Structures are given as structure tokens and as C-alpha cells.
Chains A and B, each alone.
Chain A
Amino acid sequence: MIGGIRPRLELLQSTLQQTYLIGARSLVIIMICGFFVGMVLSLQAINALEQFGASDQVSLLVGKSLFRELGPVLTALLFAGRAGTSITAEIGLMRATSQIDAMELMAIDPVQRVALPRFLAGLISVPLLTAMFNALAILGAVVFSVGVMGLDGGIFWSKLQTGVYFGKDFMGGVWKSLVFGGIVSLIAVFFGYTSKPTGAGVGTATTNTVVLSSVLILIFDFIMTSFFV
């Protein structure tokens, strides 16, 4: 019985450790990018909406496009570049330096020990990073449209609270980010695990991770939007 609990505790510990390495350490880039995406979105939206005298609607446009599309997709792309690559390179290097073979010799399951915590950490991190991205983007939009362009702050928030739907817009984005998290971390772990044990092999695997996860994120984004959201 106790033998069953101990590996689970270890899995939890190493998952937390990986969550720090690939999730918490990605926070800064995600937050900076989110803030500026929010600013540029509201800048463009105000430019377009001003022609119809509808610049009040800017928060609705920013909120909807962020929650539904830009937040989940951009976060997943950034995550693939920031954390997916490091997962692949790390596991690939463990393969190249025969650490994984050594684990197998010691009867330690390398999938359980190396791959699973990284996959789980990615799955947990991406939705939370998406939330941080969205939060900072909304703040960026507030700073630009209320602070710089002088729109009314009350209208900004009330448009969000009446026009952006929790079930359809917000949760739709959360499901998307969960799927994207799964895709990116699965691909990163897979390419790392199956990379050729050479320097060039690790390099190729890292490139493949970024290319394939970017493509799959955008394909699945379209599929999920058209079928479920």
C-alpha cells in the first residue's frame, strides 16, 4: 500500500517542480506580451471604430477577440517557443547522454519519471498562463483606451460585463487553452523522447517541436472554433 503512495508523491513533487520551471518562469514573457497585445488591439480597434462613432465598443471587441482567439492561441505559441523547446532539448539531451538508458537499466520507468511530470506541468500551466495573458491584455487595453485616449472607464467595464458571455466566450477560451496545453506538451515530450542521440538530432527535435506545435495549435483552433465554441 505504502509502495503505491510514494511514487505518486514523487510524481506530484516533480510535477510541481516542472510547473515552476516551465510555467512560472514563462510568466514574465507572457505578461509583457499580453500587455502590449491589449494595447495594440485597442489602438487598432479605436482607429476602426472611430469612423462609426463607436469607440465606446472597444472593450467589447478587445474582450471577445482576446478570450475567444488571441489569448489562447498567442499564449500557446509563446509557450511552445519558451517552454516546449526547453522540454524537448532537456529530454533530448538526457537521451543523448544515455541518462534515459541508465534509468531503464535501474528499472526506473523514464516515461513515468521524465515525460509524465513535464506533460502534466504543461497541461496545468498553459490555461493559467492564458488567464494571466488575458488579464494583462485587458489591463493594457484599459491603460490605452481609458488612460491615453480618454474613453470612459465605467463604459469600458460595463460593455465587458454585458457583452462578453461567461459560458460561450470565456469558458470556450479556457477549453481551448487546455487542449493547446496538452498538444504542445505532448509534442515537446514526444520529440525529446524520440530524438536521435546526437547534437544535430536534439536540434532537429527542438525545431520539430516548434513547427509542429505551431501548426497544430492553429489547426485545432479552427476545428474547435467551428465545432464546439
Chain B
Amino acid sequence: MRANYKVELASGIFLLLGIAALVWLATRATDYGQELGKETYSISARFTNIGDLRDRAPVKIGGVTVGLVESITLDAVSFEAIVEMSIAQRFDEIPSDTGASILTSGVLGDRYVGLEPGGAPDYLVEGDELFITQSAIVLEQIISKYLFNAGNADSSESNETE
């Protein structure tokens, strides 16, 4: 029985070590706990073109992440992309005339939503929509505009291929 006691202690330590490794990995090496906290509110914005913006892309003000893209849907009537974003509750004083644009981090980096705060006295609340929006810059359109100076004729075509 005395010998067993040591073995059981050792396997207990092994179990604890393994669980500690799981927790350490989950908190340090994954996005677990990187959520915005439980308190968030959601806002939406419409864009004519979102480029390759994806779910869970960051929403930034001045380069600092304040929220995440929750969902991207297409308005079946106006054919605009509706981007739902959740913003951390502690940033609850964003002016209501804030603009949103879809930007790229670096030349080949991921897309994110950049917010440019306006100057209105009232703040964004749950369910609000941003009206000042700027679509993603699609590289092919810029190049074709530059090369052929006929970007408008081509843009509808390249939009379809997106």
C-alpha cells in the first residue's frame, strides 16, 4: 500500500501537469480569452464591396482593436453587403456619425474594418447603422483604371468574378 501511494501521487502530478498544459495552451496560444468580454453591442454597416473581409476580422479605431466582425450577409434587394460588428461595451462613446471603411493591413495583409470617429454629440448604441462607408479597394480595379482608363466599364465585370 505504501508503494502504491507514491505511484498514485506521481500519476496525480502527471494529470495536473497535462491539464496545466491544456490550460496554458488554450489561454496563451489560441484566441480563447481574447474575446471582447461579455459586454458588447452590435452595429452594422453597408458596403458595396467588402473585398475579402472575413468573419471575426478586427474592427479598429486608430489601429486599436475595439471589436470583431460578427457576420457578413448580402442584402437581397440592394445587393449591398451588410457587415454586423460587435464592439466592446467599454468603447461606448463612439459618435453616431462615425464612418467605416474596409482597409488592408500591409500590402498583402488581412482586411479589417477601420472606424473614423465623427463629431456628433450622441453615441452609437445597440443596433445602430453606420451610414458613411467606404468600400474595399480592389486591386484589379485600380490597375485596370490605371492601365485602360476604363475602370467603370470593367468594374462590374471584376465584381462578378469576386
- Contacts A128-B22, A138-B25; is A23 near B34 (CB within 8 Å)? no
Task: State how many residues of chain B have any CB contact under 8 Å with chain A.
Answer: 26
A166 to B21 alpha-carbon distance, docked (Å): 14
Contact stretch, chosen from B6-14, B80-88, B119-127, B142-150? B6-14
- Contacts A160-B28, A166-B31; is A135 near B21 (CB within 8 Å)? yes
A131 to B29 alpha-carbon distance, docked (Å): 12
Cross-interface CB contact of B15 among A128, A157, A170, cutoff 8 Å: A128
A124 to B14 alpha-carbon distance, docked (Å): 11
Cross-interface CB contact of B18 among A54, A129, A166, cutoff 8 Å: A129
Q: Is the CB of B8 within 8 A of A13?
A: yes
B19 at the interface (CB under 8 A from A): yes
Q: Is the CB of A131 within 8 A of B22?
A: yes
Contact stretch, chosen from A14-22, A97-105, A182-190, A196-204? A14-22
A129 to B14 alpha-carbon distance, docked (Å): 9
Q: Is the CB of B18 within 8 A of A127?
A: yes
Please name all residues of chain B whose beta carbon is closer than 8 Å to the beta carbon of A174 when the two chains form the complex.
22
List CB contacts (< 8 Å) of A161-175 with chain B: 161-166, 169-170, 174
Q: A18 → chain B, closest Cβ, in Å?
A: 8
B17 at the interface (CB under 8 A from A): yes
- Contacts A124-B15, A161-B34, A164-B31; is A17 near B7 (CB within 8 Å)? yes
Please name all residues of chain B whose beta carbon is closer than 8 Å to the beta carbon of A138 when the two chains form the complex.
25, 29
Q: Is the CB of A166 within 8 A of B32?
A: yes
Chain A residue with minimal CB distance to B34?
Answer: A161
- Contacts A128-B18, A132-B18; is A161 near B30 (CB within 8 Å)? yes
Q: A154 → chain B, closest Cβ, in Å?
A: 13
Q: Is the CB of B21 within 8 A of A165?
A: no
A134 at the interface (CB under 8 A from B): yes
Instruction: Give 1 or 0 for each of A124-144: 1 = CB within 8 Å of chain B CB.
Output: 110111011011001000000
Please name all residues of chain B whose beta carbon is closer than 8 Å to the beta carbon of A32 when the two chains form the complex.
none
Q: B67 → chain A, closest Cβ, in Å?
A: 14
B78 at the interface (CB under 8 A from A): no
Q: Is the CB of A23 within 8 A of B14?
A: yes
A174 to B25 alpha-carbon distance, docked (Å): 11
A174 to B26 alpha-carbon distance, docked (Å): 11
A157 to B24 alpha-carbon distance, docked (Å): 13
A63 at the interface (CB under 8 A from B): yes
A161 to B56 alpha-carbon distance, docked (Å): 13
A94 at the interface (CB under 8 A from B): no
Please name all residues of chain B whose beta carbon is closer than 8 Å to the beta carbon of A166 when the two chains form the complex.
26, 30-32
A159 to B22 alpha-carbon distance, docked (Å): 19
Q: B-side interface residues toward A, CB under 8 Å?
A: 4, 7-8, 10-15, 17-19, 21-22, 24-26, 28-32, 34, 56, 58, 108
Could you list 12 A-B pairs, sorted by A, with CB under 8 Å?
A: A17-B11, A20-B10, A23-B14, A24-B11, A24-B13, A67-B25, A125-B14, A127-B22, A128-B18, A131-B18, A161-B31, A166-B32
Q: A-side interface residues toward B, CB under 8 Å?
A: 13, 16-17, 19-21, 23-24, 27, 54, 63, 67, 124-125, 127-129, 131-132, 134-135, 138, 157, 160-166, 169-170, 174
